[in-house]
Amino acid sequence: MPDLVDPELLRRTIDTALRHGGEFAEVFVEDRRSAGGSFDDGAVESLSSGRDRGAGIRVVRGETTGFAHTSDLSEAGLAEAAAAASAAARGGGGTVEARPFARVDAPRPHEIEVAPESIPKAEKVALLERADAAAREAGSAIRQVSAGFAEGRRRIMVANSDGVLAGDETVRTRFTVNVVAEGDTGFQTGSEAPGYAVGWEYFDTVTPESVARTAATRALTLLDAVPAPSGKLPVVLKRGAGGVLFHEACGHGLEADLVSKHASVFEGKVGEQVASELVTIVDDGLLARQWGASAIDDEGMPAARNVLIEHGILTDYMWDLLRARRAGRASSGNGRRQTYADLPMVRMTNTYLEAGDDDPEDIIAGTEYGLYCVQLGGGQVNTTTGDFVFGVTEAYLIEGGRITKPVRAAQLIGNGPETLKLIDAVGNDFDTWAGTCGKDGQGVPVSAGQPTLRVRELTVGGTAA
């Protein structure tokens, strides 16, 4: 892969950034291309393409980080941004002489097989039409279908005064279907949007028809759904469905920046039992094909598999370069940013709860009465208290050890650390979910995964009288 910017120019930019002092300086260069198409109401609505490139420069001096960015990658543009970052880094503190560059040789999690740009637009548009047809065939109650594809290619280059010089290229592809169905109880919606960090080989395993059928079935199922029960119930989360819950309710609390600001319930608990012994939680930036995978993070550090909780014991937090430097340890490869115009911070990549030994069928059969969740909507967590709330977009009652009626309008509400302790069965299956994780106004692609598992008791907020 050719360099986005000549390393000699990056060297001069770092020197400019450090000219008024500072212990650390970094240049992050990004070139991002995206394309997508949307289908709605029986027709291809629009195709779009986007291009964004630029560099973000940061200087750390004492306790203060100065940051500036530019979309001008010329020598003059980079020098101007470096000078602005230098002026913004106003803290006291020492100075450092930049070290010579050494290229970071980080293994890629997987190779991209088919460049999305190589596929003719007409062929892409045809996929949208197939999805529309499949969704409408799923049932006569289907009223509206919209479908879309999105592809993105992101090239980055990072250089810093510690001598790091690294580059990476990631490609992401996603296909989305949203459906509205109408029945006696009014309108219901269903959606499905699997995403992977792969090229057009995505469609070797995901078909427009499969995505469309899943979304359509979801909407149709809800037409027959009964109001969800309320109160404390056992909750079984189907494989893949609940990863986002652990991402939100536990993962964020394990980010070192929140821990150091006393905004995490997990502060000071390394080495302690914080979860059921059945629980092992891992963040793995190298998990092949997954939405949050890359060779390096956005600070040039190799992505890695980091065990956060092992058999219930808290083993480590996730770290970016800045927090790791202050703690006198190495980064865990979790420094990420949305674009070149944003400062990096501690972020998750692919976070999952490892599979266990139980047969998923046995977990359901062993539950007398409870809720079986197949898809969760978004959620929210207060990392300081650990309290979370999640919307449930597809769920069923479990009665007498069997999955029975679909339910609607349910919320799961609880506390992250308490929920981890209440997991009493972990299946031997596994699946993931792709999404955008928001923190401090920045969104980055992540995946979350988990086997089918049961939480002994969780508050379900439904509308049943």
CA distance 61 to 304: 28
| Interaction mask 445-464, other proteins, x per CB under 8 A | --------------xxxxx-
Task: Provide, rounded to whole angstroms, the least separation between the CB of residue 380 and other proteins.
Answer: 4
Mention every residue, 6+ apart, whose C-beta is less than 8 A from residue 6.
Answer: none
Task: Provide, rounded to whole angstroms, the least separation between the CB of residue 190 and other proteins.
Answer: 11
CA distance 353 to 277: 12
Nearer to other proteins, 112 or 145 (CB): 145
- Considering only residues 331 to 350 of the shown chain, the ones binding other proteins according to CB under 8 A are 341, 343
Q: How many residues make contact with other proteins (CB under 8 A)?
A: 80
Nearer to other proteins, 182 or 316 (CB): 182
Q: What is the CA radius of gyration of the chain?
A: 24
**Interacting residue with other proteins among 104, 108, 210, 230 (CB under 8 A):** 230
Cβ atoms of residues 320 and 344 within 8 Å: yes
Cβ atoms of residues 185 and 196 within 8 Å: no
Nearer to other proteins, 77 or 366 (CB): 77
Task: Provide, rounded to whole angstroms, the least separation between the CB of residue 35 and other proteins.
Answer: 8
Mention every residue, 6+ apart, whose C-beta is less than 8 A from residue 137.
Answer: none
Task: Provide, rounded to whole angstroms, the least separation between the CB of residue 72 and other proteins.
Answer: 8
Q: Residue type at 208? A: P
Cβ atoms of residues 265 and 383 within 8 Å: yes
**Interacting residue with other proteins among 7, 21, 62, 139 (CB under 8 A):** 62
- Considering only residues 182 to 211 of the shown chain, the ones binding other proteins according to CB under 8 A are 186-189
Should residue 21 be labelled a site residue for other proteins when binding is judged by CB under 8 A? no
Task: Provide, rounded to whole angstroms, the least separation between the CB of residue 156 and other proteins.
Answer: 15
Q: Residue type at 262? A: H
What is the per-residue burial (b if ≥16 Cβ within 10 Å, else e) of 276-307? bebbbbbbbbbbebbbbbbbbbbbbbbbbebe
Task: Provide, rounded to whole angstroms, the least separation between the CB of residue 384 and other proteins.
Answer: 5
**Interacting residue with other proteins among 207, 210, 315, 384 (CB under 8 A):** 384
Task: Provide, rounded to whole angstroms, the least separation between the CB of residue 288 and other proteins.
Answer: 29
Task: Provide, rounded to whole angstroms, the least separation between the CB of residue 305 and other proteins.
Answer: 30
Nearer to other proteins, 109 or 462 (CB): 462
**Interacting residue with other proteins among 232, 326, 329, 402 (CB under 8 A):** 232
| Interaction mask 385-424, other proteins, x per CB under 8 A | x-xxxxx-x--------------xxxx-xxx---------
Mention every residue, 6+ apart, whose C-beta is less than 8 A from residue 175.
Answer: 127, 131, 147, 148, 149, 193, 194, 202, 203, 206, 208, 211
**Contact region with other proteins (CB under 8 A), list: 59-67, 155-163, 273-281, 442-450:** 59-67
- Considering only residues 68 to 127 of the shown chain, the ones binding other proteins according to CB under 8 A are 68-71, 84-85, 87-91, 121-122, 125
Nearer to other proteins, 142 or 287 (CB): 142
- Considering only residues 125 to 164 of the shown chain, the ones binding other proteins according to CB under 8 A are 125, 143-144, 146
**CA-angle at 132, arms to 126 and 134, nearest 5°:** 105
**Interacting residue with other proteins among 25, 211, 376, 455 (CB under 8 A):** 376
Mention every residue, 6+ apart, whose C-beta is less than 8 A from residue 366.
Answer: 401, 425
Task: Provide, rounded to whole angstroms, the least separation between the CB of residue 67 and other proteins.
Answer: 5
Nearer to other proteins, 67 or 396 (CB): 67
- Considering only residues 255 to 294 of the shown chain, the ones binding other proteins according to CB under 8 A are 261-263
Q: Residue type at 42? A: G
Mention every residue, 6+ apart, whose C-beta is less than 8 A from residue 328.
Answer: none
Task: Provide, rounded to whole angstroms, the least separation between the CB of residue 141 and other proteins.
Answer: 13
Should residue 53 be labelled a site residue for other proteins when binding is judged by CB under 8 A? yes
Closest by CA position to 166, among listed 105, 75, 107: 105
Which 3 state secondary structure label does DSSP give 438? strand
Closest by CA position to 197, among listed 150, 262, 239, 250: 150
